Amino acid sequence: MEKTILDIICDTPIVVGTATKHREDPLYSDTRRSNFNMYTHEWSLKWKHVSPKPSQVHINKDAQAIIDAINNDNKKFKGHCILWHNDLPDWFHALGVQEKQTAMLNHVKSMMQMFKGKVYKWDVVNEAIADSTNDLRPMWKEVGGIDFIDKVFRVAHEVDPECTLVYNDYACTKINNKSNAIFNMLKTLKERGCPIHEVGLQTHEDGACMRHMWMESMKQNIARFYSIGLTSTISELDIRCHTFAGSLDEKLEKQADVYYRFFKAALSDLRACNEITLWNFTGKYTWVYDFFKVEPMYCPLPWDNDIKPTASYQAIKRALQEVVDGLMG
């Protein structure tokens, strides 16, 4: 029987997770169960869906189904996400500044309490830095900027001191102006004694850009976060292949090589980064085609649109086996 990802990483410190939605799709569920040791909700634990009405907590059908799957499949439960400028409840926008601050802190307390002891890691603050300015987005400036973000993490830590608290963002996996801004913000927070433990590097990337220097820059980025007391997690990985030169088969082979090199590089120091989460695992349910206007033949994930394993799946397993063999000395 061919080894799965889970067969390779079991009994090691490596976590390979997937974002997921509930589906009545046995092949999807079986593939998810046999390959991943962590699940995270792709959408249904976001504030808009949890609190359609003020001070309401509503675990909808999708969210509950995933919680049940985590328990039935005996998986790690990563929480995504508590505070984000998107998917805010409709009623939030009409609040005054102080009411927003109160509502946000109450939501943090409520989610941390609800899943205390169940969720080992939360994306507490998601995407607070704007691409256009490399500064805090308006919502965060309005409620008090970095001082408020500091307060958010302290409140979260007070409720569940055992939970790993993450700042999560995109387009910041390698060293660039945005990751510099995030590094500087998190360094300031750490210097204040803020209980923030990890940075989530989403990594929704175009594979054709991920050459050798890209991987080296990611390793340097992870190392500098580690130098200020922050581990890293690759939190939302998908690698687009449509911009590679060549035929479809050649594009998919190049994508597989990028997945191989990426997993090796990201997991090259497991003290600093030991976890990679795919943002869903099959082209059948990926967000990429619609958002990036990509033809469905160019699947960004290790299982294709029919949930069949691809060359990228084999490449990921080869990389993981080499990382694990390296652990064994």
Q: Which residues bind ligand G3I (CB under 6 A)?
A: 21, 42-43, 46, 87, 126, 170, 202, 236, 287
| Residue 85 Cβ vs ligand G3I, minimum distance, rounded to whole Å | 11
- β-strand partners of 131: none
Q: What is the DSSP string of 81-143?
A: EEEESSS--GGGGGS-HHHHHHHHHHHHHHHHHHTTTTEEEEEEEE--B-TTTSSB-HHHHHT
Contact 123/235 with Cβ under 8 angstroms?
A: yes
CA 33 from centre of chain: 18
Q: At what angle do helices 212-227 and 177-191 cross, to 10 degrees?
A: 10
Q: In which residue are the tokens 């290790």 written?
A: 302
Enter the tokens of residue 155: 């409140």
Q: Are 222 and 232 within 8 A, CB to CB?
A: yes
For the question of residue 205 being annotated catalytic, the response is no
List own/partner pairs for 137-144 with CB under 8 A and 24 or more apart: 137/85, 138/85, 139/85, 139/88, 140/85, 142/97, 142/100, 143/97, 143/100, 143/101, 143/104, 144/101
| Separation between Cα atoms, residue 266 and residue 326, nearest integer Å | 14
Concatenated DSSP letters of 147-203: HHHHHHHHHHHHH-TTSEEEEEESS-SSSSHHHHHHHHHHHHHHHTT----EEEE--
* The residue to which tokens 């569940």 are assigned: 160
Return the structure tokens found at 274. 């030991």
* Structure-token pair, residue 235: 């939190």
Is position 142 annotated as part of the catalytic site?
no
Instruction: Find out whether 125 and 149 touch, Cβ atoms under 8 Å.
Output: yes
Catalytic residue among 127, 198, 205, 275: 127
Q: Which residues are catalytic?
A: 127, 236
